[in-house]
Amino acid sequence: MSNSTILRLQREFNDILKSPDTQITIATDDSNLTHMHALITGPAMSVYCLGMFDFVFSFPDDYPTNPPKVTALTTGTVNKRVRFNPNIYSNGKVCLSILGTWRGEAGEQWSAAHGVSSILISIQSLMSDKPYLNEPGHENTKDETVIESYNRKITHETIRVTVCDRLEKFLSFDQERDFATASPRNVATPPSNNIPATTNTPPSTNDDLESAESLAASNAESISALLGTFCSCRERSPFEDLCKRLFLLYYHIYQETIEKEVAKGIIDGTRFFRARFEGSGNVMDGSFEYAKLKVRLENIYAAVRQETESWELLSKTWIANDTLMSSNLKNQFEQITAAGEFSQNIMVNLSNSNPFIWIVTFTDLHGTLYEDGIFTCVTSGSVLLAQLSSAFNQ
């Protein structure tokens, strides 16, 4: 890889890391700049509401002359692979003209003027409120029943796969054991006709890139994710701690989403609608199980809270031993308060001089939904502080 390519990647990575956009996060390794991980949070007003989706980028030596290869890692398990979007396949393939994985229209193809941010934003744009319309040949679908049926299963699987499965793995949950003491409640008999009938229509053949061969071809990254390791480059996710913190922030929204879906008349046990373009293993099949998901969310919340609260007790030992972590956090706090990095509407203090526990107060958030309110949060460092600040100012 040439020096110009290395400098280009370093510049792009730094720009993304400095961006106030908290819905897109990346992780890189200075020893291998050709490999990058990204975590994209689903837009709050879409059916992917605050789901957490992993992607891995592999950059060619001649980047940016040619685009990177992008693979979706959030695709379920070996026994139950999930296609989250007409353009995001169950084998991890991401279909975008900017990546050269879809023919697209003139002017939509990759050029050196594009970059990592362009790709990340393009992927996030796929997570719309009507993803069914992303499928070529179905853009003008007017049947709202079909569109809504497709939306419903994405909403369910976003919570099941991107939130519950993810966090349970991070917490080393044994699902069989953990659900034995928290069984689903009020599971009704599934109806026979509350959603359009499942269709076994073969997958769309709008483009040669959707061939059976492309659907069957899985790469090392997606296989690693399915078999239990996070990626071929590492066993655990670089976003593990971040996801736990985001879960605490969004927990009540996940629960509210379930309540709204159940209020629509969805009954547990009802099979998912299958779209006409799904088939050959590239599908999102299954059935609704919202009662079970509520219990799973509750168990995860309790475990993450317990883990977080234990830090307060452990931090006393860390401070007494003057650990490197303790010194780094104290230095971060002193640098932030001295530099005035955040606005005057944000006050930051340590709890009893404990660098592991930061108390953040937001006031006078003019121009936001929180105007005239006073909000106090407890956080564990400057990274989450930045995320909280961005969240309150949206």
Beta strands in the chain (DSSP E): 24-28, 35-41, 52-58, 69-72, 76-77, 80-81, 346-351, 354-363, 374-379
Rounded Cα distance, 176 and 163, in Å: 18
Let me know: does 93 contact 71? Beta carbons within 8 Å. Answer: yes
Q: What pLDDT does 358 receive?
A: 86
**What kind of architecture, by CATH, is found in domain 3-307?**
Roll (3.10)
Let me know: does 93 contact 85? Beta carbons within 8 Å. Answer: no
| Active-site residue set | 95
Among 17, 9, 5, residue whose Cα is nearest residue 238: 17
Query: For the whole prediction, is pTM greater than 0.85?
Result: no
Q: What pLDDT does 374 receive?
A: 81
Q: What pLDDT does 379 receive?
A: 67
Among 261, 242, 238, 260, residue whose Cα is nearest residue 250: 242
Rounded Cα distance, 332 and 293, in Å: 38
CATH topology of domain 322-392: Ubiquitin Conjugating Enzyme (3.10.110)
The answer for residues whose C-beta is within 8 angstroms of residue 303's C-beta and 6 or more apart is 171, 173
Q: What pLDDT does 343 receive?
A: 62
Q: Say whether 322-392 and 3-307 share the same fold.
A: yes
Mean pLDDT split into 10-residue runs, the chain, 394 residues: 92 90 90 95 94 96 96 90 95 94 79 94 95 93 95 97 96 64 38 39 40 43 56 89 93 97 96 93 94 97 91 84 85 84 76 86 71 73 50 48
102 phi and psi angles, rounded to 5 deg: -150, 140
Measured in residues, the chain has a length of 394
Domains of the chain, by residue range, sit at 3-307, 322-392
Rounded Cα distance, 221 and 266, in Å: 35
